[in-house]
Chain A
Amino acid sequence: MTQLATIRRDPVIRGSRVVRGDRITRTLLLVLLMLFAIVPLLSMFTAALAPQGSNPPGLSWPAHPHWGNFADAWTGANLFALFQSSVLIVLGVVPAAVAMATAAGYGLAQLRVPGGKVIYGVLLAGLTIPYEALITPLYYDIQSVGLLGSRLAVVLPLIGLLMPFGVFWMRAHFVSAETALTEAGQLDGGTTWQIFRRIHLPLAKPAISALTILFFLATWNQYLLPLVLIDDPAKRTVAGGLGAFQGQYGTNTALLCAGSLLIIAPSLLVFLVFQRNFVKALLQGAIR
């Protein structure tokens, strides 16, 4: 009897030990990966609190944190103007790009667009075209229509550049939507617009909001286009402005780090607020 018990218990004990060991390895591994992701930002944060003009150590909490550095960076980099400019550019790009991508994605997935396959193929090819490959002609085109230096110089091309991904994303969603719904709507005598508006648009909300966040990040974080197409740093996006800021305060580590943290704050905030839905939508959307 006792023999049986030990035999029975033994594997269980070993098993649980293995499982626990496994869990510790897993957790440790995850924590290591998380540290790799977060430590550079922490290092930036402690440096941002060091006295200006000093050589702060890589990572240590300063004895007297200089919170004023953030205020100095805010005024020094003219961040208010940059934020305002970024918001204007985002407002110009994101709603228009989301609307166009949604319409096209719907058309290509649910309607019989003549040459739809070819159109989709051509759009999809755009996913692989690097922005740098277009920046030279874009510069001269924008110059020849007299928009160089204005925010439209960034807004218009960016809408076009975002289309391949946007259409890909929205089409993937609408393809997986029930065509039976469309047919039912048609039988009920709904127009294409009514069927879209009443049936498909409500169902597409998660996909559309994920795309909106992605487009926001792509616009807010955009560096090359504003750098090239807008010569006045105050009219660029914050990311574009950071470059100029870096040239100006390259040696002032504390101020540069403080400014950089202020600049990444909105991206971080938007991500943290929406992360639950965002990561889920992204993981589902990427694998369709």
Chain B
Amino acid sequence: MSHSRTASGGGHAATRTAPAPSDPAPRDMAPGGPVPERGGSAGRLRARRARNRQWGALLWVAPALLCYAAFVLYPLGQSIQYSFYNWDGIGTATPAGLANWQAIFTQPELLSAITHAVELIVFYTLFPVGAGLAAATLIRELKPGPFSTISRTILFIPQVLPLVAAGVAWTWLYSPDGLVNQILRAFGLGATTRAWLGDFTYALPAVGVIGVWVMLGFCTVLLLSGIGKIDPALYEAASLDGAGRLRQFRAVTLPGLRQELVVCTTFTVVAALASFDVIQVSTQGGPGYQTLVPGVEIYRLTFLDQRIGQASALAVFLTVLVLLVIWPIQRLGRTD
């Protein structure tokens, strides 16, 4: 950023000497708000540039926008369209009216997939954010040092691994000879051992715990870093006012962590509702439909049952569901 380079020759000369636009409006569009009147050619030049830049600026955004439109917006539109047809992916599609949409609310299999996704929020969001918050409150500060770095790194590891690997690892942990049963036996709870992922009652919570494993460290690290940024003077003031630990938590910690909480909650809720990898690898929705979630059901409907219309209706519904849940969380983060 050399300030000596005031005038560059060549191609810019034309822009420079070109008559200034008679309309002063573009000047106000310059970056950083209205430009104070300067009179000289510099002001006009800038105004001129700013206007030129407007349409040129689209070029910066265009590649990202085009890719996004082609591979996200367009397919989403197609999903909406398909959802009103019956189509096996090969033959001709026949209009289905609202049948595919009705099925979501009436067919037990589809309905259970959605219920499970909502139940998974308890595991992916409530447990990790709750436990992460408790841990962060108790630990409060991580003094910078090797232990802090190591603990942060280790806590983060489950988050950076492929979810497929998490699925494989936990399939092994939950197996009859796996670690979970081994620990139960060690504590004399041999009677409670079982093949967890094959159990009709416990399969969904067991899959949920995998979500806890993936999310807990991430939430804890994020909340810990947030709590470290809260001014200690606030805690001192609160305790001088006679506020106990609970009051301090409610009056200082929670408001101070609002941003972090919103990020954690949003991120984990999307992961819960859109879960696929872990379940496809560990249970494929079974036993029965006990761990069926929308992601797995969309995959099944499309590639096993060839019911494209039904899969698309569920896909669009899932998108709407995510938006509906995220919306209030985001609003909570914005109010100030």
CB of B311 to closest CB in A, whole Å:
5
- In the assembled complex, the CB of A252 is this many whole angstroms from the nearest CB of chain B, namely 11
Given A113-B58, A123-B68, A132-B294 in contact, is the A190-B5 Cβ separation under 8 Å?
yes
Q: Which of the listed residues A27, A242, A286 has the most CB atoms from chain B within 10 Å of its own CB?
A: A286
In the complex, how many angstroms separate the beta carbon of A142 from the nearest chain B beta carbon? 10
Does residue B114 face the partner (Cβ distance < 8 Å to A)? no
**A224 partner residues in chain B, CB cutoff 8 A:** 276-277, 295, 299
- Are B163 and A223 in contact, CB atoms less than 8 angstroms apart? yes
Among A33, A38, A157, A187, contact of B135 (Cβ-Cβ < 8 Å): A33
B118 at the interface (CB under 8 A from A): no
The reply on A134 being an interface residue by CB < 8 A is yes
B163: chain A residues at CB < 8 Å are 221, 223, 239
A253 CB contacts on chain B under 8 angstroms: 172, 175
Instruction: Enumerate chain B residues within 8 angstroms of A188, measured Cβ to Cβ.
Output: 1-3, 5-6
**Segment at the interface with A among B195-203, B219-227, B233-241:** B219-227
Q: How far is the CA of A167 from the CA of B67 in the complex (A)?
A: 12
How many residue-residue contacts, CB under 8 A, span A and B? 328
A74 at the interface (CB under 8 A from B): no
Mask: chain B, 134-148; 1 = CB below 8 Å from A; 0 = not: 010011100000010
Contact flags B162-194 to A (C-beta < 8 A → 1, else 0): 111110111011010111111100000000000
In the bound complex, do residue B222 and residue A286 qualify as a contact, i.e. CB atoms below 8 Å apart?
Answer: yes
The A interface, classified by DSSP as helix, strand, loop or mixed, is: helix
Central interface residue in B29, B160, B175, B213, by most chain A CB within 10 Å: B160
Question: Distance in Å from the Cβ of B283 to the closest Cβ of chain A?
Answer: 12
Contacts of B225 in A (CB 8 A): 283
Given contacts A33-B220, A260-B169, contact A132 B156 (CB under 8 A): no
Q: A160-B67, A160-B70, A268-B157 are in contact. Are A37 and B169 (CB under 8 A)?
A: no
Give Cα distance in the complex from A175 to B110, angstroms: 43
Contact between chains at A221 and B161 (CB < 8 Å): yes
| B residues in contact with A113, CB < 8 Å | 54, 57-58, 60-61
A61 at the interface (CB under 8 A from B): no
Q: Which residue of B lies closest to A240 (CB)?
A: B164
CB-CB under 8 A from A159, the residues of chain B are: 67, 71
> Which of A41, A59, A100, A198 touches B169 (beta carbons < 8 Å)?
A41
Cα–Cα distance between A207 and B73 once the two chains are bound (Å): 27
| Count of chain A residues with a beta carbon within 8 Å of a chain B beta carbon | 110
What residue in chain A is nearest B295 (Cβ atoms)?
Answer: A132
**Complex: A288 Cα to B50 Cα, angstroms:** 28
Inter-chain CA distance A29–B178, complex, in Å, is 25
Which of A131, A164, A186 is B68 in contact with, Cβ under 8 Å? A164
User: Residue of B at shortest CB range from A127?
Assistant: B270
Q: Do A279 and B179 form a contact, CB below 8 Å, given A119-B65, A132-B298, A137-B79? A: no
Given contacts A34-B155, A119-B61, A228-B303, are A133 and B181 in contact (CB under 8 A)? Answer: no
A243 touching B281, Cβ below 8 Å: yes
Interface residue A114 (Cβ < 8 Å from any Cβ of B): yes
Other-chain residue from A104, A133, A156, A243 in contact with B64 (beta carbon distance below 8 A)? A104
Residues of A within 8 A of B7 (CB): 189
Interface centre among A39, A59, A128, A141 (most CB of B within 10 A): A128
Is there contact, CB below 8 Å, between A239 and B162? Answer: yes
The answer to whether the Cβ of A147 comes within 8 Å of any Cβ in the partner chain is no
B121 at interface (Cβ–Cβ under 8 A)?
Answer: no
Q: Which residue of A lies closest to B297 (CB)?
A: A132
Chain A contacts for B298, CB-based, 8 A: 132-133, 135-136
Q: A112-B50, A113-B57 are known contacts. Are A123 and B31 too (CB-CB below 8 A)?
A: no
Q: From B160, which residue of chain A is reached at the shortest CB distance?
A: A271
The answer to whether B1 touches A283, judged by C-beta atoms less than 8 angstroms apart, is no
B160, A104: Cβ atoms under 8 Å? no
Q: Which A residues form the contact surface with B (CB < 8 A)?
A: 25-27, 29-30, 33-34, 36-41, 43-44, 47, 55-59, 99-101, 103-104, 106-108, 110-114, 116, 119, 122-123, 125-141, 156-157, 159-161, 163-164, 166-167, 179-192, 198-199, 217, 220-221, 223-224, 227-228, 238-240, 242-243, 246, 253, 256-257, 260, 263-264, 267-268, 270-272, 275-276, 279, 283, 286-287
The contact sample of 19 A-B pairs, CB cut-off 8 A, is A27-B147, A104-B65, A113-B61, A114-B58, A119-B61, A128-B323, A129-B322, A134-B76, A135-B315, A136-B308, A137-B79, A161-B72, A188-B5, A239-B277, A242-B164, A243-B164, A257-B172, A271-B160, A279-B153
